Structure 1
Amino acid sequence: MTPERSWWGWGTTDHALSDEECIARAAVLPGLPDRPRPVPDLADVVLPTSRVAAPDGLPVTTDPADRARHAYGKAYRDVVRALSGELPGAPDAVAHPADEDDVVRLLDWASSAGVVVVPFGGGSSVVGGVEYRGDRPWISMDLTALDRVLEIDRTSRAARIQGGALGPVLEDQLRPHGLTLRHYPQSFEFSTLGGWLATRAGGHYATLLTHIDDLVESMRVVTPVGISESWRLPGSGAGPSPDRMFLGSEGTLGVITEAWMRLQDRPRSKASASVTFADMTTAIGAVRAIAQAGLHPANCRLLDAGEAATSGASTSGGCVLVLGVESAAHPVESRLEELTTLARDCGGVVAPRRDGPRDAAADAWRSSFLRAPYGRDGLARMSAVVETFETATTWDRVDELYATVQAEVGTAVREVTGAPGLVNCRFTHVYPDGPAPYFTVVGVGRPGSEVAMWDDVKTAAMEVLTRLRATVTHHHAVGRDHRPGYDRQRPEPFAVALRAAKAALDPAGVLNPGVLVDPV
């Protein structure tokens, strides 16, 4: 039996924290309520009256439960709003296209009727990317019926895959062929190929193939003025890349219906290890040495002391570096030995290996990583304020960035909530010229004021990132929540070109207005 998806929070209902687990999780922050707020029954949720009447023959429904499930993404703001039981921003209807022709017909109707269309894959956006915050009637276009691997080119090791395929659905179809896309974001179970492409998602690998961009051979995108399909090529220097225009376009330029994706043989050899460091400065130096050594670990996650303690990867109070290697063709132990030797030479203490290829700290971190969104939801029910944001900067500036975020965002949490909070960090991806730090912030909220307090903390974090010229997002996308920072980061001539592309491809302005550029 397929587990039921949560309509208000992350993942599936069978993995949600119980009331007792919520209380236990909140014990780290004195001052929170004694009991979690209840989860509203979906049947009792209050929705606005639908303003949409689609023509007969279009796959559109105004079913209240369907509308509620498509109202928001899965950011903290979304979870708190859903827990209120009132969804004033819910879509007027939900479309379920069965094929690309349905997508074309839906966009034709919406453009002529002035109905906003917001593409929806797994609904796991944490940046306000799958909701509409304007006054026009709107529909959520759920693409998960477009979920097939249509064609496999074993010779070139690539596959043509529909954009609505969820991560597990996609991999299940590739597995009999001994192939894998090997792209595992934290949202893997609950996000789609089209969503990964539209948001330039970051995946499993900490080095080399870090973004979905690296795995794209060609794309097929339905726009209101026609279908864009790029040629299948291993590489090309023929002008600006058409795929690059739609990668990261977040549903505002077109709907991604198919893509040819570069695949890999499934790995046969894997091994992991962990290294402890006394302080973050020493650990950052070690990670930089590894990133620049050309050893290309599959996993290179650096956890600061707070993150290591929270995840259970360390009980000693130090920072922990989790390393992993894998290969479809060769044994990997010698490469892992090179990595741990380099880390040891840079001041780290390598944990003793237990029998087998896996490391205890790495396993603890992985388990915590997969459970983290459920824990966030549990804290939200206890009125804690929880924010996560990721960025990237160069190695010469990362020490300043880390220290400034710890100090200034920590101060903002204290000022907003009236009590000290937690500001933890891990590096999710590393490059020869810099890392991608990912911060988790937790503070004591006040019931009824959680969203406003979260907004204040997020504003403070965005100010630090843009002032220090670190990107406002490394792999979560821009959406609506990161627009202020994105507008500061984006060069104005590019903004002019993006607005022109939006006007040319979507003349009625119906596709996800407010994402990336202001609506017309």
Structure 2
Amino acid sequence: MTVPDRRSWWGWGTEGRQLTAAEADALAGRVAALLPGHDLTDHAPPDPAAFAVPAPRVTPPAALATLCSADPVDRLGHARGKAFRDVVRNLTGVRGPVPDLVVRPRTEQDVVDVLDWCTSTATPVVPYGGGSSVVGGVEPRFEGPAVSLDLEHLDQVVEIDPTSRTARIQAGTYGPALEAQLRPHGLTLRHFPQSFEFSTLGGWLATRAGGHFATLATHIDDLTASLRVVTPAGTSESRRLPGSGAGPSPDRMFLGSEGALGVITEAWMRLQQRPTWQRTATVAFTSYDAAVAATRAIAQSGLHPANCRLLDPAEALINAGTAVDGGLLVLAFESADHPVDAWLGRALELVADHSGTVLATRDRATDAGDHGATTEAGDASQAWRSAFIRMPYQRDALARRAMVVETFETACTWAAFPDLHAAVTAAATDAIARVCGGQGVVTCRFTHVYPDGPAPYYGVYAGGRWGSTLAQWDEIKAAVSDAIIAHGGTITHHHAVGRDHRPWYDAQRPEPFAQALRAAKTALDPAGVLNPGVLV
């Protein structure tokens, strides 16, 4: 029975927001037009009871027993993240490693007690935020027992400092609950990753998550004032300061540590006033090179748009419903202090210098388009926003129909982008031809832009074979990851390393730093129980 608000055990989000039958049929129709001949037979997810989850191999001490769940479906839901390969394994009945217990601490002292118990018994602990990892970060991919540590009960904005415009927030707070607690104060964290509904502050911090906004404070790092972290060696709490030159930053050590060095229990976060003014524009280009040049000009202008998302023609057509020859640029400016018309106006002068055509502008206050835009053009940015939220649900529906649908992302300098883009696109296209018979499309969008470079985010849509789509994606992923590293990109801009990116992360990081990271792991987690296999 479908329960609308219940989290899906096998795929993204909640059961009630999965694609309706009509939406799924319409999606299948579009795929049939794109990939004629592909078998679009739907494969429903199996009953989780069919996985025969084994009995727990560990018994918690009596003092912790009430915090522990051995429910099979609960354990299955904590066994993996939400990547394509996770969804496919669930759909095809591949069980894999499952945590023996799901432990939900209610206080920080509970976290200390759980780590003490697990350290004394050499039981690995996998910290779990919302479980939205797409890189194998929450999967107990190792032999032996494991505990999934779910911080969902640590879900409060504990304290607000309105003078300094910061707040002390518990790590298990999900995005919507966090914003709901800040809203009465007229404040916002202004961090909205695609997983916003289904991820937590602690997860954002542990993975150095990127938000929706394209410039300035693009990552959670930029919003972090101080961290409190429980480790097997003791509790670390940094001093709340606007800035400091006192040696290497303790916060920087734990940001992005993915639970391998400690469990983040709370953080002081920098807030902003909620924006009052917002102006958006949609710009079309006839040349992709011109679209990239215009985007770079805006990124280097000092205008700092909230959104500066460039979609290539395939991405614009598939996810914004707009046909363009060279690219579609979605721009937005916002402020809590002043109107932003002048900033948008200057940005549109810059795109005009690169032969960009404004399809529509929109003011949030009036929600009215102008420039004589057609309905299609005027709705392009709104269509993109809607598609952005629905993308993971669409991916799951396509995965059920033997499609290989997944993304990979990176960042590079503007100078390196042309060669990297050509190499990555070629690697993906060649791999699709090799493993999927040539039926597929590779798309690209910029999710974030910096003065020195963009963050390209690629999508793969390819016809797979039911029962083989996991292996097909793994081969495509390996090919593009090799190309990214070979051409100066990062293996991840905001998805984290997890277990899936480890081989390429090892190649990217300097070896002296790797030695220092291993030493930190040994000092903070001498028994090696924290998320084994991640980072080191």
**Aligned 8 A contact 1:163 1:195 in 2:** yes
Name the residue aligned to 2:46. 40
Name the residue aligned to 2:431. 412
2:403 to 378, 384, 403: 384
Secondary structure of the residue that 1:458 maps to in structure 2? helix
Q: Give the Cα–Cα distance (whole angstroms) in 2 for the partners of residues 249 and 352 of structure 1.
A: 42
Name the residue aligned to 2:415. 396
2:500 to 457, 481, 491: 481
> Which is worse superposed, 416-425 or 152-161?
416-425
Name the residue aligned to 1:6. 8
Q: Give the Cα–Cα distance (whole angstroms) in 1 for the partners of residues 223 and 384 of structure 2.
A: 26
**Aligned 8 A contact 1:414 1:420 in 2:** yes
Q: Give the Cα–Cα distance (whole angstroms) in 2 for the partners of residues 508 and 265 of structure 1.
A: 44
Name the residue aligned to 1:198. 206
Q: Give the Cα–Cα distance (whole angstroms) in 2 for the partners of residues 351 and 154 of structure 1.
A: 41
- Following TM superposition, by how much is the alpha carbon of 1:499 offset from its aligned partner in structure 2, in angstroms? 0.5
User: After superposition, what is the alpha-carbon deviation per residue over 1:175-222, rounded to whole angstroms, capped at 9, x for unaligned?
Assistant: 000000010000000000000000000002101010100000000000
- Following TM superposition, by how much is the alpha carbon of 1:23 offset from its aligned partner in structure 2, in angstroms? 4.6
1:509 to 498, 513, 528: 528
Which one-letter code corresponds to 1:29 in the other structure? L
Secondary structure of the residue that 2:506 maps to in structure 1? helix
- Following TM superposition, by how much is the alpha carbon of 1:490 offset from its aligned partner in structure 2, in angstroms? 0.5
Query: Residue 356 in 1 paired to residue 367 in 2?
Result: yes
Q: Give the Cα–Cα distance (whole angstroms) in 2 for the partners of residues 301 and 357 of structure 1.
A: 21
Q: Give the Cα–Cα distance (whole angstroms) in 2 for the partners of residues 251 and 136 of structure 1.
A: 19
> Which is worse superposed, 9-18 or 238-247?
9-18
- Following TM superposition, by how much is the alpha carbon of 1:417 offset from its aligned partner in structure 2, in angstroms? 1.1
2:288 to 277, 280, 288: 280
- Following TM superposition, by how much is the alpha carbon of 1:452 offset from its aligned partner in structure 2, in angstroms? 1.0
Q: Give the Cα–Cα distance (whole angstroms) in 2 for the partners of residues 406 and 260 of structure 1.
A: 41
**Aligned 8 A contact 1:19 1:35 in 2:** no
Name the residue aligned to 2:375. none
Q: Give the Cα–Cα distance (whole angstroms) in 2 for the partners of residues 471 and 279 of structure 1.
A: 26
**Aligned 8 A contact 2:435 2:472 in 1:** yes
Query: Residue 228 in 1 paired to residue 236 in 2?
Result: yes
User: After superposition, what is the alpha-carbon deviation per residue over 1:30-59, rounded to whole angstroms, capped at 9, x for unaligned?
Assistant: 343342101222343331332111111211
Query: Residue 492 in 1 paired to residue 514 in 2?
Result: no
Which one-letter code corresponds to 1:171 in the other structure? E
User: After superposition, what is the alpha-carbon deviation per residue over 1:381-434, rounded to whole angstroms, capped at 9, x for unaligned?
Assistant: 001112211100001111111122222211111101112311000000000000
Secondary structure of the residue that 1:353 maps to in structure 2? strand
> Which is worse superposed, 470-479 or 78-87?
78-87
Q: Give the Cα–Cα distance (whole angstroms) in 1 for the partners of residues 343 and 535 of structure 2.
A: 42
Q: 1:484 to 1:19 in 2, by over 3 A?
A: farther
Query: Residue 375 in 1 paired to residue 386 in 2?
Result: no
- Following TM superposition, by how much is the alpha carbon of 1:344 offset from its aligned partner in structure 2, in angstroms? 1.0
**Aligned 8 A contact 1:76 1:387 in 2:** yes
**Aligned 8 A contact 2:4 2:16 in 1:** no
Q: Give the Cα–Cα distance (whole angstroms) in 2 for the partners of residues 48 and 14 of structure 1.
A: 29
User: After superposition, what is the alpha-carbon deviation per residue over 1:49-77, rounded to whole angstroms, capped at 9, x for unaligned?
Assistant: 32111111211121112101111100001
Q: Give the Cα–Cα distance (whole angstroms) in 1 for the partners of residues 449 and 176 of structure 2.
A: 26
User: What's the TM-score once normalised by structure 2's chain length?
Assistant: 0.94
Equivalent runs, 1:324-473 vs 2, <5 Å: 324-353=332-361, 356=367, 359-473=378-492
Name the residue aligned to 2:69. 61
- Following TM superposition, by how much is the alpha carbon of 1:316 offset from its aligned partner in structure 2, in angstroms? 3.6
**Aligned 8 A contact 1:298 1:325 in 2:** yes
Secondary structure of the residue that 1:374 maps to in structure 2? helix
RMSD: 1.4
Which one-letter code corresponds to 2:193 in the other structure? P
Q: Give the Cα–Cα distance (whole angstroms) in 2 for the partners of residues 224 and 127 of structure 1.
A: 25
Q: Give the Cα–Cα distance (whole angstroms) in 2 for the partners of residues 446 and 314 of structure 1.
A: 30
Q: Give the Cα–Cα distance (whole angstroms) in 2 for the partners of residues 252 and 244 of structure 1.
A: 14
Secondary structure of the residue that 1:57 maps to in structure 2? helix
Q: Give the Cα–Cα distance (whole angstroms) in 2 for the partners of residues 197 and 204 of structure 1.
A: 15
Name the residue aligned to 2:140. 132
The structure 1 segments of at least 4 consecutive aligned residues displaced by more than 6 Å after TM superposition are: none
Structure 1, unaligned runs of 5 or more: none
- Following TM superposition, by how much is the alpha carbon of 1:88 offset from its aligned partner in structure 2, in angstroms? 2.9
Q: Give the Cα–Cα distance (whole angstroms) in 2 for the partners of residues 121 and 356 of structure 1.
A: 36
**Aligned 8 A contact 1:430 1:436 in 2:** yes
- Following TM superposition, by how much is the alpha carbon of 1:86 offset from its aligned partner in structure 2, in angstroms? 4.2
Q: Give the Cα–Cα distance (whole angstroms) in 2 for the partners of residues 97 and 315 of structure 1.
A: 50
**Aligned 8 A contact 2:4 2:14 in 1:** no
- Following TM superposition, by how much is the alpha carbon of 1:312 offset from its aligned partner in structure 2, in angstroms? 2.4
- Following TM superposition, by how much is the alpha carbon of 1:447 offset from its aligned partner in structure 2, in angstroms? 1.2
- Following TM superposition, by how much is the alpha carbon of 1:448 offset from its aligned partner in structure 2, in angstroms? 1.0
Name the residue aligned to 1:92. 100
Q: 1:427 to 1:158 in 2, by over 3 A?
A: same
Secondary structure of the residue that 2:225 maps to in structure 1? strand
- Following TM superposition, by how much is the alpha carbon of 1:85 offset from its aligned partner in structure 2, in angstroms? 3.2
Which one-letter code corresponds to 1:360 in the other structure? D
Q: Give the Cα–Cα distance (whole angstroms) in 2 for the partners of residues 515 and 65 of structure 1.
A: 25
Question: How many residues end up aligned between the 2 structures?
Answer: 517
- Following TM superposition, by how much is the alpha carbon of 1:18 offset from its aligned partner in structure 2, in angstroms? 3.7
Q: Give the Cα–Cα distance (whole angstroms) in 2 for the partners of residues 313 and 470 of structure 1.
A: 30
Q: Give the Cα–Cα distance (whole angstroms) in 2 for the partners of residues 352 and 95 of structure 1.
A: 50
**Aligned 8 A contact 1:313 1:362 in 2:** no
Which one-letter code corresponds to 1:285 in the other structure? A
Which one-letter code corresponds to 1:44 in the other structure? A
> Which is worse superposed, 265-274 or 412-421?
412-421
- Following TM superposition, by how much is the alpha carbon of 1:357 offset from its aligned partner in structure 2, in angstroms? 5.5
User: After superposition, what is the alpha-carbon deviation per residue over 1:280-299, rounded to whole angstroms, capped at 9, x for unaligned?
Assistant: 11111001110111000000
- Following TM superposition, by how much is the alpha carbon of 1:276 offset from its aligned partner in structure 2, in angstroms? 0.5
Q: Give the Cα–Cα distance (whole angstroms) in 2 for the partners of residues 402 and 383 of structure 1.
A: 27
**Aligned 8 A contact 2:215 2:448 in 1:** yes
Secondary structure of the residue that 2:416 maps to in structure 1? helix
Q: Give the Cα–Cα distance (whole angstroms) in 1 for the partners of residues 300 and 450 of structure 2.
A: 8
**Aligned 8 A contact 2:316 2:328 in 1:** yes
